[in-house]
């Protein structure tokens, strides 16, 4: 596997890349046009390449933005090839570039596949680097202590640590992604990685060999650096990833999958106090206390109090959910006002503050003996400060809520959007900014994205998909169907999905808007197929990891995969493995979500219609994402079913229908099933 930094491409004899400041817009546009032209370097490197007008249009717009140091927002439909459309002008400009993606998987794809292919094709001598958050890299100092950790309570954890220790002897990058099959949820990972809280910095005995320091140094020396949105925003507030030092030195910043930018920002620009923080802190206190200061303080007693405080914080955060014995599935957002102010909640926060203050005192007595204890002492002070912050009223411009999951609770205070943070960045050192995604809005100005991101003055470009949706895709919205609030709705969705899957021979996704519907529809489908003796498998989110479910679906396409939020986007199943997608109901934001409530209040206070400006816009974006799973290549064919009659009969339904690609609409279920049977016959003939 390639390391975190590569030098790619050898310059052609007649190629002289100019400096970005020396380029006129027309010159860079000519270079880009030549790169994409028939017989050009890209077509020579890839026999399957064919020029696409939409891709060229986007690449020329990016070239102009680079040369003029402008801000550009591009919505590019599926199949445009937006990755190459921004990478080609970035590489040919000769300037430095920062590329930010939504996930670590997309980072790896850019670094391992897309950039090497393009650099080779264009013969550009470019040094590229991959930069992730510190939690993605092995910390050798913490690994050395992990063997004695109280967390190694089972054989699986011991074996995982042994495997990491063997790999540590030969890895160059220290990126844990190199370890195939390592469960991201493994209890060992926090033991062998550092966080901002526990990193010793230059005081660490392993500092010279630190993988994080090496990755940041290589990023500062590279021409193209690939990061992710979380890293970008974490650095805005914490200055902990190296992006803050990197950003002023680049000529171009590109944000791919930009529709996820605002949520990433809201998550990382805020303040958080969580039960997991307390547990991690207690684990580190106990491990270091017993290893380096045994008998000097009651480390086990302190850890026990921290664990108790964490447990109480989660219990009072869950509130009635805990007392009713209800199992929490997935992530639930709870309104702050539902919990804060109660005596139990105040008492839990007081206990966090008291145990943090105790930790400050106890660690203060040994802080001078080791850099590890200095860092622990600082963490205790920070926990005390956070407990005090959440015991007070929030700032008027911020919103508070509680994230509750099966294993932890997090108290969060955050701005409502990233507008102010982004405008501060855009107003700093002049550079080109490019934001792109397949879904950024349903109006000409893409206000769903540009308004909360503070990009009101950006140049906007919308390029449609090159795919022939009218010929290859059908849309069916059943009119005579239970409304989503009727009890029979989930069962009817399952029954319709079963009829579609039978006509097609599986090859079907059912995307749900809630986990409750996911369970009901999954159970109903399974029962339906069993009763009829169908050999169609039902794969359901939560039963196995996402990657494993997708692998099973593609290997055994006589299946229906039922998934919720995480399956609406970022899923790529090209070809005839997936030919039918059903969406259970219009994906409006939940009105009782604390962030939704706060945004609605702000819109209404400004005299705007929250339903038109927020709820419909959010539903349109989500529909485009979910429906986008269906057609992934020019040859793909399929059927999209939206099991919500409101989309057919309500006034706002037209706006939502127009947000989707131009699929041919079907009026009756019989037409939909005939289309699926035709697809099944075409598939059999092709075999």
Specify the CATH architecture of the domain 271-415. Answer: Up-down Bundle (1.20)
Q: What is the residue-averaged pLDDT of the chain?
A: 89
The predicted pLDDT at position 612 comes to 93
**Cβ neighbour number for residue 529 with a 10 Å cutoff:** 18
Average pLDDT over residues 556-569: 92
- Class of 469-686 per CATH? alpha beta
Query: How many percent of the chain have pLDDT more than 70?
Result: 93
Q: Residue range 559-581: average pLDDT?
A: 92
In this model, does residue 16 exceed pLDDT 60?
no
pLDDT at 318 over 90: no
Domains 271-415 and 469-686 equal at CATH topology level: no
Q: How far apart are CA 156 and CA 239, in angstroms?
A: 35
Say how far apart CA 372 and CA 358 lie, in whole Å: 18
Burial 113-150 (b: 16+ CB within 10 A, else e): ebbbbbbebbbbebbbbbbbbbebbbbbbbbebbeebe
pLDDT score of 10: 46
User: What mean pLDDT is predicted for residues 575-588?
Assistant: 96
Token pair for 90: 């970035």
332 compared with 439, residue with greater pLDDT: 439
Residues 193-251: tens digit of each pLDDT: 998 878 888 888 899 999 999 999 999 999 999 999 988 887 776 565 556 677 888 99
pLDDT for the residue 397? 79
The predicted model scores a pTM of: 0.88
Q: Which pLDDT value is given to residue 24?
A: 58
Is 14 a residue whose pLDDT tops 60?
Answer: no
* pLDDT of 153 above 80: no
The pLDDT score that the predictor gives to residue 244 is: 67
**Is the per-residue pLDDT at 7 higher than 70?**
no
**pLDDT recorded at residue 190:** 87
State yes or no: pLDDT of 412 exceeds 80. Answer: yes
Q: What per-residue confidence (pLDDT) applies to 183?
A: 76
pLDDT at 18 over 50: no
Mean pLDDT of 16-32: 67
Average pLDDT, integer, range 367-383: 92
Residue 464 in this model has a pLDDT that exceeds 70: yes
pLDDT tens figures, 648-669 = 999 999 999 999 999 999 999 9
SS3 labels along 86-142: HHHHHHHCCCCEEEEECCHHHHHHHHHHHHHHHHHHHCCCEEEEECCCHHHECCHHH
Q: Give the pLDDT band of residue 486 (cuts 50, 70, 90).
A: very high
Beta strands in 269-408 (DSSP E): 271-274, 332-335, 398-404
Give, rounded to a whole angstrom, the gap between the first and last alpha carbons of the chain: 36
Question: Domains of the chain: which residue ranges?
Answer: 22-127+222-267+419-463, 135-209, 271-415, 469-686
Q: Do 51 and 457 form a contact (C-beta atoms < 8 A)?
A: no
pLDDT of residue 490 exceeding 50: yes
Q: What is the pLDDT of residue 154?
A: 78
357: region left, alpha or beta (phi > 0 left; psi from -120 to 50 alpha)? alpha
Per-residue pLDDT band for 353 (boundaries 50, 70, 90) equals very high
Tokens of 481: 């169907």
pLDDT at 601 over 50: yes
pLDDT above 70: residue 611: yes
Q: Are 310 and 275 in contact (CB under 8 A)?
A: yes
Lowest model confidence (mean pLDDT) among 425-434, 659-668, 675-684: 425-434
Q: Give the dihedral sign, CA 61/62/68/70.
A: positive
- Residue 12 reports pLDDT greater than 50: no
| DSSP H helix total and E strand total for the chain | 30, 19
CATH 3.40.50.300 fits 22-127+222-267+419-463, yes or no: yes
pLDDT at 148: 73
């Amino acid at each position: 596997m390639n390391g975190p930094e590569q030098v790619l491409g050898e310059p052609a004899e007649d190629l002289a890349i100019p400096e970005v400041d020396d380029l006129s817009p027309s010159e860079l546009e000519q270079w880009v046009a030549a790169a994409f032209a028939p017989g050009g370097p890209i077509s020579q490197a890839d026999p399957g390449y064919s020029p696409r007008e939409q891709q060229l249009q986007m690449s020329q717009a990016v070239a102009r933005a680079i040369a003029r140091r402008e801000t550009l927002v591009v919505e590019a439909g599926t199949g445009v090839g937006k990755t190459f459309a921004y990478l080609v002008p970035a590489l040919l400009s000769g300037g430095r570039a920062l590329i930010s993606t939504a996930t670590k998987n997309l980072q790896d794809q850019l670094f391992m596949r897309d950039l090497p292919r393009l650099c080779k094709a264009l013969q550009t001598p470019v040094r590229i680097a991959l930069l992730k958050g510190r939690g993605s890299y092995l910390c050798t100092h913490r690994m050395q202590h992990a063997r004695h950790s109280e967390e190694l309570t089972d054989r699986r954890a011991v074996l995982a640590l042994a495997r990491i220790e063997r790999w540590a002897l030969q890895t160059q990058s220290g990126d844990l992604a190199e370890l195939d099959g390592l469960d991201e949820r493994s209890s060992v990972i926090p033991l062998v990685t550092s966080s901002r809280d526990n990193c010793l910095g230059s005081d660490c005995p392993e500092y010279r060999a630190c993988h994080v320091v090496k990755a940041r140094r290589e990023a500062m020396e590279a021409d193209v650096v690939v990061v992710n949105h979380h890293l970008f925003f974490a650095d805005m507030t914490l200055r902990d990833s190296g992006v803050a030092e990197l950003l002023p030195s680049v000529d171009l910043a590109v944000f791919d999958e930009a529709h996820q930018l605002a949520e990433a920002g809201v998550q990382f620009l805020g303040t958080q106090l969580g039960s997991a923080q307390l547990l991690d802190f207690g684990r580190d206190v106990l491990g270091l206390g017993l290893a380096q200061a045994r008998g000097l303080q009651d480390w086990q007693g302190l850890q026990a109090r921290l664990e108790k405080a964490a447990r109480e914080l989660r219990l009072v955060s869950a509130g009635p959910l805990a007392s009713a014995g209800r199992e929490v599935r997935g992530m639930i957002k709870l309104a702050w006002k539902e919990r804060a102010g109660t005596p139990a909640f105040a008492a839990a926060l007081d206990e966090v503050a008291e145990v943090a203050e105790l930790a400050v005192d106890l660690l203060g007595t040994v802080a001078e003996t080791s850099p590890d204890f200095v860092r622990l002492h600082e963490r205790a002070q920070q926990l005390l400060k956070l407990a005090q912050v959440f015991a007070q009223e929030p700032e008027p411009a911020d919103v508070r809520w509680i994230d509750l999951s099966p294993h932890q609770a997090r108290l969060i205070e955050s701005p409502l959007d990233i507008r102010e943070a982004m405008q501060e960045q855009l107003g700093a050192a002049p550079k080109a900014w490019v934001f792109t995604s397949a879904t950024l809005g349903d109006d000409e100005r893409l206000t769903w994205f540009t308004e909360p991101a503070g990009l009101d003055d950006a140049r906007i470009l919308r390029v449609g998909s090159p795919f022939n949706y009218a010929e290859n895709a059908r849309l069916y919205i059943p009119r005579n169907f239970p409304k989503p609030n009727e009890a029979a709705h989930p069962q009817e969705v399952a029954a319709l999905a079963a009829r579609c899957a039978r006509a097609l021979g599986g090859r079907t996704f059912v995307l749900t808007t809630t986990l409750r519907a996911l369970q009901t529809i999954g159970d109903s489908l399974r029962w339906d197929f069993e009763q009829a003796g169908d050999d169609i498998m039902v794969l359901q989110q939560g039963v196995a990891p996402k990657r494993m479910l997708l692998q099973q679906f593609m290997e055994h396409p006589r299946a229906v995969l039922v998934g919720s939020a995480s399956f609406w986007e970022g899923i790529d199943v090209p070809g005839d493995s997936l030919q039918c997608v059903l969406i259970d109901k219009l994906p409006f934001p939940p009105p009782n979500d604390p962030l939704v409530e706060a945004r609605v209040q702000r819109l209404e206070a400004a005299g705007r219609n929250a339903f038109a400006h927020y709820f419909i816009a959010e539903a349109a974006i989500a529909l485009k994402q979910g429906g986008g799973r269906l057609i992934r290549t020019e040859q793909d064919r399929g059927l999209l079913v939206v099991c919500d009659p409101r989309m057919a009969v309500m006034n706002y339904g037209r706006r939502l229908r127009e947000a989707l690609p131009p699929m041919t609409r079907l009026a009756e279920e019989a037409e939909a099933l005939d289309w699926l049977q035709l697809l099944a016959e075409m598939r059999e003939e092709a075999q």
